[in-house]
Amino acid sequence: MFLKDSRYDRVDPETYLDDRHREIRYKKVRIIPERRAVYAHKVREGERLDHIAFRYFKAPDKYWLICDANLTMWPDDLTIEKDRIILIPGSE
């Protein structure tokens, strides 16, 4: 189950039939779309990815748009440290 604004929400489900003929539903790996950066954000002390998403999109759960713009599959891979510049895309 994915949230409505999840980056996997629009990925079509697939079905795998195992050796016992059970159907197992899954999502394929999502290809990171090219997202043009609109802003460059300099990270402040103590700032988190959800804070930054709220600042630009008024939705903290849209942090994944920032991950896409920085070609990051997992949020933890986008190191948020003071003075780092991260790219911020348009809101979609």
pTM of the model as a whole: 0.69
- Mean pLDDT, rounded, for 72-77: 82
Task: Please give the C-alpha separations between residue 25 and each of 8, 74, 80, in angstroms, as whole numbers.
Answer: 14, 22, 34
Tens digit of pLDDT for each residue in 8-40?
777 788 898 999 999 998 887 767 778 889 999
Q: Taking 80 as the threshold, does the pLDDT of residue 75 lie above it?
A: yes
Burial 25-64 (b: 16+ CB within 10 A, else e): eeeeeeeeeebeeeeebebeeebebeebbeebbeeeebbb
pLDDT by residue (tens digit) across 59-74? 998 998 999 899 887 8
Task: Give SS3 for 54.
Answer: helix
